[in-house]
Amino acid sequence: MHFNFDFSTAQILWTVTFAALLVLLVVLLGRDRVRRYPWFTTSIVLTTLDKLAGRLLNRRMSLTLTEEIFLTLADLGAIVALLVVVEIARRAFEGADRKMWIAGTLSLLAVGAVVLVLWGPWPSFKTLTASSGIAALRFMDLFAQKVNLLANVLFVQLGLLVVVFGGKFKAGWHSHTQQLAIGLGMASLSQLAIRGTLQHVATQITIHSQDDYQRVVGMINSLNNASGIILIVVLLWWIVCLWSDEPGAEKAVSSE
C-alpha cells in the first residue's frame, strides 16, 4: 500500500510552526507568564498573526493591500522586538547599578549601530523622501528590515551576556529569563547567518542558465527550511521551559 501526501516541506513546517506558536500562547496564558513577559507575549501574538495572514490572504487580495498589511505587521513586530530586548534585559539584570546599565546599553547599541550601517544596502535619500504610495511601502519595508536586523544583533549579544553574567543577578540557570534569552539569541543568530548567506548568494553568484537558477532557488528554499526548523526547536524549548516553574518557585509560594 502506498500513501501519497500532497504536502510540501514548506507547508509541513508552516503547520508545525503555527501549532507550536498556539501551544506557546496557551502556556504563556495558562501558566501566568504573560504578567512577567508582556512584550514577549505580544511578539508571539504578532508572529502568529503574521503566519495566519500569510496563509489566508496570500493571492486573495490586491498586491498593494497585501503588502500594506504585511508591512504593517512587520513594522509592529520590529518595534515590539526592541521592547522585548528591553524587557529581557531588565528582568535579567535587575539590581545592577546605573553605571553598569549605561555601559552595557551603550556597548550593545554601538555594536548594533555598526552592523546596521555596514550590513546591507541603504537606499538614496531621494528614494526615501519621495511622495508616493510605492515610496511609503519601500520605507516601511526598509524600517522593518533594519530594525529587525538591529534587534537580532541585540538579542545575540544579550543572550551571551545573560549566559555569562545572568547568574549574578536575576537570570540564573533554569530561570525563565535566561531560557527566553537563549532562545531569542539562537533564533536571531540563525536569522543573521541565513540573511548573510542569502546576501552573499545575491551578490556573488551569476546565473547563466535555467539549471543555475533552479540551483539558487533550491538553496534559498533549503536555507528558509533550515530557519523554519530552528524556529520550531526554539518554540518547543520555550514551551517546555515556560511550562515548568523556576527553581525555588514552589518554596517561595509555600512560605507565603
Whether the per-residue pLDDT at 66 is higher than 70: the answer is yes
Beta-carbon count within 10 A of 169 CB: 17
- Three cell numbers written together for 47: 508572529
In the prediction, which pLDDT does 128 show?
A: 64
pLDDT tens column, 191-232: 888 888 877 776 766 666 777 677 777 777 788 888 889 999
Q: Are 154 and 108 in contact (CB under 8 A)?
A: yes
Whether the per-residue pLDDT at 68 is higher than 80: the answer is yes
* Spatial CB neighbours of 241, under 8 Å, sequence gap ≥ 6: 174, 176, 179, 180
What would the 3-class secondary structure string for the chain be? CCCCCCCCHHHHHHHHHHHHHHHHHHHHHHCCCCCCCHHHHHHHHHHHHHHHHHHHHCCCCCHHHHHHHHHHHHHHHHHHHHHHHHHHHHHHCCCCCHHHHHHHHHHHHHHHHHHHHHCCCCCCHHHHHCCCHHHHHHHHHHHHHHHHHHHHHHHHHHHHHHHHHHHHCCCCCCCHHHHHHHHHHHHHHHHHHHHHHHHHHHHHCCCCCHHHHHHHHHHHHHHHHHHHHHHHHHHHHHHHHHHCCCCCHHHHHHHC
Whether the per-residue pLDDT at 186 is higher than 50: the answer is yes
In the prediction, which pLDDT does 87 show?
A: 93
Per-residue pLDDT, averaged over 90-113, amounts to 85
In the prediction, which pLDDT does 250 show?
A: 47
Confidence of residue 253 (pLDDT cuts 50, 70, 90): very low
Mean pLDDT of the chain: 82
The C-alpha atoms of residue 183 and residue 229 are separated, in whole angstroms, by 13
Confidence of residue 2 (pLDDT cuts 50, 70, 90): very low
Per-residue pLDDT, averaged over 143-155, amounts to 92
For 81, what's the count of Cα atoms within 13 Å in the CB-facing half-sphere? 26
Per-residue pLDDT, averaged over 143-156, amounts to 92
| Amino acid identity at 103 | A
- Three cell numbers written together for 60: 486573495
% pLDDT > 70, the chain: 85
In the prediction, which pLDDT does 78 show?
A: 93
Per-residue pLDDT, averaged over 50-67, amounts to 78
Per-residue pLDDT, averaged over 146-173, amounts to 86
For 113, what's the count of Cα atoms within 13 Å in the CB-facing half-sphere? 6
* Spatial CB neighbours of 159, under 8 Å, sequence gap ≥ 6: 181, 182, 184, 185, 186, 188
Residue with the larger pLDDT of the pair 27 and 245: 27
The C-alpha atoms of residue 178 and residue 158 are separated, in whole angstroms, by 10
User: The whole model's pTM is what?
Assistant: 0.85
| Closest by Cα among 16, 11, 107 to 55 | 11
pLDDT tens column, 29-56: 998 899 999 999 999 999 999 888 877 7
| Closest by Cα among 179, 227, 234, 235 to 25 | 235
Confidence of residue 249 (pLDDT cuts 50, 70, 90): low
In this structure, of 61-75, 107-121, 159-173, 208-222, the range with the lowest mean pLDDT score is 208-222
In the chain, domain spans? 25-241
Whether the per-residue pLDDT at 92 is higher than 90: the answer is no
